[in-house]
Amino acid sequence: MCHSARWHGPSFGELQMSSGTLPAAIHRGAFVLVLLLLALPAWSADPPSSGVLGRGTAWETNYYAQTSDRAGPTVVITAGVHGDEPAGAAAAEQIRHWPIVCGKLVVLPLANPPALAARTRTIPGAAAPQNNLNRNFPKTGQPGPPVGDQAEAIWQWLQVLQPDWVVDLHEGFGIRAAGSKSVGSSVVVRPDAAADAAVERMLAAVNATIDRDDKRFVRLGPPIDGSLARAAAEHLAAQAMILETSIQDLPPPVLKPAPQAKPDAAKPPHQPLSRRMRQHRLLVHALLTHLKMVDSTLQVDRVAGRAAAPDKTWVALYDAGGTGGQGGAAVERILAGAGMRVVRVGPEEIAAGSLTNFDVAVFPGGSGSKQAAAIGAPGREQVRQFVERGGGFVGICAGAYLCTSGFEWGLKLFDAKTISPKWQRGAGMLQMELTPAGRDIFGDRPMLLDVRYQNGPVITRAEIEAVPDYEVLAFFRTEVAQNGAPAGVMLDSPAIAGGNFGQGRVLFVSPHPEQTPGLEDLVHRGAQWAAGKP
């Protein structure tokens, strides 16, 4: 059974229909209710509904509400308060699709759209100290008002919802358990017995996925004064907490440091965004499980895609083990800029069958064999099935190695093998030339295109019966052959090629158009082609 609910006050309709302030909404409540009754068809039950905060402002943003027929707690998830902490917003966008079995789940994925767009912690253009949205909510001993229009609108919205639980998704930089001063990898909550059981369960769920003690999530608290979570706890009597993932990762353990090693010299590696999103999902899922608001059919690693906007092209961008460099971020910027919806995925999301919610999977630069090892045999089978049943595959450099058929670890989606086992051919600007088929996909372009190259595959046909032949879309017209790689074989070999696998399409891209100024649109045209969309 669900935990019992308390009375939850005015309906969403009042919020949705009031573009003004809350007192105005309450005064107009009766009138609005009559309007609603007139407007709603008789069969309308309590479907997932959404609304808008800050309509007409620069920070206009959507929230999403689901109300179950069965009574239960009201849980509000907020994210994207700080614009340089992307994992919470991306995770909340997935969490909002989770079906609940009791109570009410309300999700505000993008609390601070201008800061998210600018990737800044603070509100762009706002004066300090008011520009930190998470210091603008009513402070201890001060019932209000909040500071600034944004905090005021969010606070009024929260007051109407009368939440039992408020969970605000953030990110820290360093990992607290490893000695960082940052609050990264923690649950920040008041020392309050009512939340203890839930917090313990949440920490256990996320820490079960972390194999090093110095990366584990810890409990901290209370939330800082002026934060949304602290205000909700103190002024709305909600159980409220801040979830913090860590943007930075720890370097792999070094058994015996080299004498000249300068530990501060190297930038700490980042944790893949897909992993940080997953940690937010695991924490929220454990809370909702504790509250009996979700049932065992919910798969926490099966991420939502296409259903949210079926008219868009949905791209699953692999960002975990075996990726490296700036390629993935560049691909995301280009595809999102072209109107596609890009979601980061890692091995767990692929293994859970998430690709079926997408039109195309993109594997960027790094190491093909390491990507193959990271997703494992089950992940490779998922990718193969996805393409066989009509999905698109785009492999760039390492991802291009990954789709080939000559390596034991290859996906064997593409009837090619590398000419030489020596892969460290070198890096630099090379020239390639589109074929007529390439011009059909990528547009009419000059004879020779400069393109950035870094150790990408040099291929020939593998002549595998089960995989159809590929068509060359661009040829290398210059080459590099360093580190003992054979000279001559790269010249006039395929730089870009397309093939079919089952119902799906595979785009092989050896060089880096996503990191070549002027060639960015090859990436989205290629993804569109692989997705099978005009």
Q: Kindly give the pairing relationship between strand 360-363 and strand 314-318.
A: parallel
The least CB distance from residue 336 to Zn ion, in Å, is 22
d(CA 479, CA 107) in angstroms, rounded, equals: 52
Member of 170, 384, 505, 512 binding Zn ion (CB under 5 A): 170
The least CB distance from residue 181 to Zn ion, in Å, is 14
Is 176 one of the binding residues for Zn ion (CB under 5 A)?
A: no
Angle between helices 86-95 and 273-290 (to 10 degrees): 50
**Binding span for Zn ion by CB under 5 A among 8-16, 59-67, 168-176, 373-381:** 168-176
In this complex, which beta carbon is closest to Zn ion, that of residue 168 or of residue 415?
A: 168
Is 82 one of the binding residues for Zn ion (CB under 5 A)?
A: yes
Is 215 one of the binding residues for Zn ion (CB under 5 A)?
A: no
d(CA 78, CA 87) in angstroms, rounded, equals: 12
d(CA 416, CA 394) in angstroms, rounded, equals: 15
**Binding span for Zn ion by CB under 5 A among 75-83, 379-387, 400-408, 465-473:** 75-83
d(CA 200, CA 218) in angstroms, rounded, equals: 10
Query: Around Cβ 88, how many Cβ atoms within 10 Å?
Result: 31
> Taking Cα atoms as reference points, which of 146, 43, 155, 41 lies closest to residue 108?
155
The least CB distance from residue 183 to Zn ion, in Å, is 8
Question: Residues 415 to 474: which contact Zn ion by CB under 5 A?
Answer: none
Instruction: Compute the chain's Rg from CA coordinates.
Output: 25
In 290-446 the beta strands, taken as DSSP E runs, fall at 314-318, 341-345, 360-363, 392-396, 416-418, 427-434
The least CB distance from residue 242 to Zn ion, in Å, is 8
The least CB distance from residue 81 to Zn ion, in Å, is 6
d(CA 355, CA 48) in angstroms, rounded, equals: 24
- Return the structure tokens found at 271: 């944790």
Size of the site for Zn ion (CB under 5 A): 3
Helix (H) or strand (E) holding 49: strand 49-53
In this complex, which beta carbon is closest to Zn ion, that of residue 82 or of residue 344?
A: 82
The least CB distance from residue 203 to Zn ion, in Å, is 19
In this complex, which beta carbon is closest to Zn ion, that of residue 85 or of residue 349?
A: 85
**Binding span for Zn ion by CB under 5 A among 170-178, 219-227, 281-289, 430-438:** 170-178
One DSSP character per residue, 247-276 reads SB-PPPP-SS--TT--TTTSPPPBPPHHHH
Question: Residues 83 to 112: which contact Zn ion by CB under 5 A?
Answer: 85
The least CB distance from residue 230 to Zn ion, in Å, is 13
In this complex, which beta carbon is closest to Zn ion, that of residue 82 or of residue 425?
A: 82
In this complex, which beta carbon is closest to Zn ion, that of residue 155 or of residue 475?
A: 155
The least CB distance from residue 171 to Zn ion, in Å, is 6
Q: Collapsing DSSP states into helix, strand and coil, what is residue 166?
A: strand
Is 280 one of the binding residues for Zn ion (CB under 5 A)?
A: no
In this complex, which beta carbon is closest to Zn ion, that of residue 68 or of residue 120?
A: 120
The least CB distance from residue 172 to Zn ion, in Å, is 7
59 φ, ψ (degrees, to nearest 5): -110, 20
In this complex, which beta carbon is closest to Zn ion, that of residue 82 or of residue 176?
A: 82
Is 281 one of the binding residues for Zn ion (CB under 5 A)?
A: no
What do you get for the CA distance between the two ends of the chain, in Å?
49
Residues that bind Zn ion (CB under 5 A): 82, 85, 170
